[in-house]
Amino acid sequence: DQQVKQNSPSLSVQEGRISILNCDYTNSMFDYFLWYKKYPAEGPTFLISISSIKDKNEDGRFTVFLNKSAKHLSLHIVPSQPGDSAVYFCAANNAGNMLTFGGGTRLMVKP
Amino acid sequence: KAGVTQTPRYLIKTRGQQVTLSCSPISGHRSVSWYQQTPGQGLQFLFEYFSETQRNKGNFPGRFSGRQFSNSRSEMNVSTLELGDSALYLCASSLDWARGYGYTFGSGTRLTVV
């Protein structure tokens, strides 16, 4: 039973446009959500996070939105750049250091 | 500062064998967590060690085990390997209760079971 799901395995966008990556979760105990970016042959790197007491968090070109009633979060990247091409994982946490990850979305930004 | 070091980077083993993977955390980090990444499954939590004690455990069979040494270096062991154990094994270190924010991942060990 996957508690965190990323239903789009891949996404292709044009450079300069907006990339929207989506993530759904089922466990209402999750209260902290994160996005990680992963390049091939490297470990995931932390991108941005959001607490359940907020509905939006912004960091430069990256914004994460949280809709608790829908148990849905999304990552917006504006504008998208070719260097953003990577696999993006959303993750959820309710305590400690254990993260529950989604299956990942491969983003391809075309020049 | 040096990152999280995982050794070896690649490993090929035969079904039924056992394997030991190593993770050296960032200096000063006392928590080490292990994750298994398989295609389409994302990263699945194996276990976390803090100060030589297992603090959390994921839903994996007993063939998967780990330990942590006094210098915070951690090892994970998989016994009686199965084909389905082929995966990228990642470790992440953090100071303490990082809630993922303070995680630093290593580059992983790619295990292939034939």
B51-88 pLDDT, tens per residue? 999 999 999 999 999 999 999 999 999 999 999 999 99
In the three-class reduction of DSSP (H, G, I as helix; E, B as strand; rest coil), residue A26 is classed as coil
Residues 6+ apart with CB under 8 A from B71: none
Q: pLDDT tens-digit profile of A66-102? A: 999 999 999 999 999 999 999 999 999 987 788 999 9
Percentage of chain A exceeding pLDDT 90: 90
A105 touches B: beta carbon within 8 Å:
no
Whether B53 has its CB under 8 Å from any CB of chain A: the answer is no
Instruction: Work out the pLDDT band at B96, boundaries 50, 70, 90.
Output: confident
State the Cα–Cα distance between residues B86 and B114, nearest whole angstrom. Answer: 9
Residue type, B5: T
Segment A5-25 shows an average pLDDT of 97
- Chain A within 8 Å of B58 (Cβ-Cβ)? yes
Q: Do the chains contact at A97 and B101, CB–CB below 8 Å?
A: no
Identify from A7, A97, A99 which residue to disrupt to test chain B contact, counting B C-beta atoms within 10 A and taking the largest count.
A97
What is the arithmetic mean of pLDDT over A42-59? 94
Query: Are the C-beta atoms of A18 and A63 separated by less than 8 Å?
Result: no
**Tokens of residue B24, six digits:** 């050296």
Separation of alpha carbons A38 and A5, rounded Å: 17
Residue of B37, B51, B68, B89 to mutate for A, most A C-beta atoms under 10 A: B37
Chain B interface includes A109 (CB < 8 A): no
Contacts of B106 in chain A (CB under 8 A): 43
- CA dihedral sign of residues A38, A12, A73, A47: positive
Q: Give the model's pLDDT for residue B13.
A: 98
As a whole number, the mean pLDDT across chain B is 93
* Nearest one of B28, B34, B45 to B96, comparing CA atoms: B28
| Chain A nearest CA to B5, separation (Å) | 11
Rounded distance, CA B111 to CA B114, Å?
A: 10
Interface test with A, best of B7, B43, B57 (most A CBs within 10 A): B43
Q: Which residue has the higher pLDDT, A38 or A96?
A: A38
> How far does chain B reach from its first CA to its final CA, in angstroms?
37
pLDDT at position A33 is 95
Distance from CA of A103 to the nearest CA of B (A): 4
pLDDT at B19 over 70: yes
